[in-house]
Amino acid sequence: MPYAPNFRRIKKLISLGRYAKNNPHLISRTIREIKLHGIKKTITKIKNKSYKFDNLSSMSQSFIDVKRVLDMFHTSPMVPKFNTTKAIDIIIPVYNGKEYLVPLFESILKNTSMPFRLLVADDKSSDSEVLPLLHKIKNDNPNITIILIENEINLGFIKTVNKLAALTENHFVLLNTDTEVPPFWIERLMYPIFEMDTIASTTPFTNAGTICSFPNYLEDNTIVEGFNVKQVDSVFQYVNFKKTFIEIPTGVGFCMGVNKNLVDKIDMFDEVFGKGYGEENDWCQRAIENGYKNIHVTNLFVYHKHGGSFSSEEKQQLIRNNLSILNKKHPTYDEQVQSLILKNDLALLREMLVYQLYNANTTAILIFDHNLVGGAHTYIEEDIQSRVALEQSVCLVRYDFNITKNYTIKLITKQQELQFYTSHIDEVTQLLQLMKFNEIFINSLVMYPDIKAIIGLISDIKKKMPLNITIPMHDFFPVCPNYTLLDETMTYCGIPDDIEKCNRCLTNNKGEFKIFESESDIKRWRDTWNELFHISDTVLCFSNSSKDIFLKAYPAYEEKVDVIPHDISGRYSKIYQKDQSNKEIRIGILGGINEAKGALIIEKLVKHIEKNALNAKVILIGQLSISIKSPYFELTGHYDRTKLPEIVKEKNVTQFLIPSICPETFSYTTDEIMQMGYPLIVFDLGAPAERVKNYPLGKVIEIQDLYEVLFGISTANA
């Protein structure tokens, strides 16, 4: 759009947040404030919260109902069809801009799939090479109707357009020379005019088109870096036009579909606007006054280089001269534009299209994860950061078992993060059907309400597109609903061959898994997971002990197992120095400790120290699931991992204990302690034992030998 009042200043208001589209009172009040007090004072009022804005929040910070997105898109590209007995006219006024002409005409000739005529006028270009080039384009395409007009004098943009419009025989397109069009563009641009009632003009998305700009609203964007017009437009073809199109106060003249019937009624551009700027705004306002509508076509992107025919100084002068004319002719135009901007109805669509663009044209990964803290959470958050830094797009699905009972879906690229929610797995399925993936990474399905449905969803995606599926073994949930593998006696079960023994354990066990998983048939459980392992490409284990446990349950998938320990090398330097003068044993325990990770071991250890009045103290750097009150115990609570060495030295820790009674798949805390160089005791279970066996200051012991190893006192004498 050549002219739109207050765009840059109004954009300051937009930057303060997203406005609710159904709040006309808010919009009209804001406009009144602007008119009365000016833009600066209005912004100050908003910042100072002088009055309340409902739903004024960034979409990247709030969750959006999945239904809003599902209404916006088709699951496959859609090109509308309509019939016309005459060719559609494409009128192109030309003044200089030789460098734009070949790309423009090549895109039209290659990508226009309906009958069309080209009506081209050279407005006495000062560049002597322009007119010969136009003749060459015409002569090189004898099968295309190209009517070439040569103005004897420079008439200016408006008179030249009017001259071409008078030659049209059907609804037509006004197209700037500094544009490129994608495949099936004319069907989408002209469909509303041919098939809907009283549509005056249609304008697509573009990179530089003010109210139709993409990706940033009201800005002259360059085309999204790394993409061409065809790639960008490919995601627009999925947009559900009927559910997303909006009325706008004016079309934007870089590429505008025009209703021939209306032109015959009210004429084309008013020549009072001279050489140009403001003319299509005026025409579109006259269309509205005659009962017509101007439509923003949401399922089409046209590239606009924004070369222009005027110098910057001449352009500014034209805008100043024509502004007063436009405002006098249409006193409410400015308010219409400001109202449109404040509503920003297409903000979410723009955000989604940015994600779709990167999703379709870069490496894309779908991740399923639980909504809990811990090592698996840390692992996937770091992995996402790495992927995004490499320009990959991420779709992260989680289930919030504890609070909302909703699935949450985050769409993440280097440019943005969108967050959605739904309580229905079928809506998750529909949303994922809008995307393309190169990989599925099933970080964890703990707490998901219907694992069979998730596995079915993953299987369907795998059938539709070639991709790799990776299943990391952060815990043993695929092996058993009781992912800690602790039986009724809180002892590692060893994966019994006796299926009935497993079923009895699942029935009688009081472990925390019972909160969200009721399965009591281990065969049925493993049969369900077997469907997933069958279509997977890699089972990722972080220790050999995890691999051994997994293969006890699923021996058929040994060839799919990769053992790759987490690499956290270099996180800390060696700080341990043995203090001969310190006679107190200060036992450090690190991390978040629940019952499976040894909470009761800690409780018994503290009681043992207190009962025997030992010169010892237990310092838990982290959190504990039970309460322990004793002068022989200290709890720091949550800690900053970057400050761990400082905390350890401050607490004068002499040695560490990993008290976990379940077979951990990997232990970050084990590696962290070893990096700091401290003596370390672990039980002969899982990954910690595997790592510590080769650590010079490490001891791998049986649980019953703990007191003797620590204090030289056997369990029998405890």
The H or E element containing residue 605 is: helix 599-611
Residue 698 contacts residue 704 (beta carbons within 8 Å)? no
CA distance 405 to 403: 6
Most distant CA pair in the chain, distance: 113
Q: Do domains 78-344 and 585-717 have the same CATH topology?
A: no
Packing angle of the helix pair 312-329, 279-289 (nearest 10 deg) = 20
b/e map of 497-523 (b: 16 or more CB within 10 Å)? Answer: eeeeebbebbeebebbbeeebeebebe
pLDDT given at position 19:
36
Residue type for position 398: R
Q: How far is CA 687 from the centre of its chain?
A: 35
On average, the pLDDT of the chain sits at 90
Q: Is the peptide bond before 472 cis (omega within 30 degrees of 0)?
A: no
In sequence order, the 6+-apart residues with CB closer than 8 A to the CB of 273 are: 158, 279, 282, 322, 325
* Contact in structure between 273 and 158 (CB atoms under 8 Å): yes
Where do the domains of the chain lie?
7-55, 78-344, 585-717
Residue ranges of the chain with pLDDT lower than 50?
Answer: 1-9, 11-27, 29, 39-40, 43, 45-59, 308-309, 715-718
Instruction: State the Cα–Cα distance between residues 566 and 628, nearest whole angstrom.
Output: 32
The pLDDT of residue 30: 54
C-alpha–C-alpha distance, residues 621 and 589, integer Å:
6
pTM: 0.85
Nearest to 591 by CA among 620, 549, 556: 620
Q: Which fold has domain 585-717?
A: Rossmann fold (3.40.50)
* Residues 6 or more apart whose Cβ sits within 8 Å of residue 355: 393, 411, 413, 416, 418
What ranges make up the beta strands (E) of 42-115? 63-65, 88-94
Rounding to the nearest 10 degrees, give the CA dihedral for residues 52, 58, 59, 61: -110
Q: What are phi and psi of 514, to 5 degrees?
A: -65, -20
Q: In what order do the strands lie in the sheet with 633-635?
A: 633-635, 616-624, 585-593, 655-658, 680-683, 698-701
Fold of the domain built from segment(s) 78-344: Spore Coat Polysaccharide Biosynthesis Protein SpsA; Chain A (3.90.550)
**What is the CA 103 to chain-centroid distance, rounded?**
33
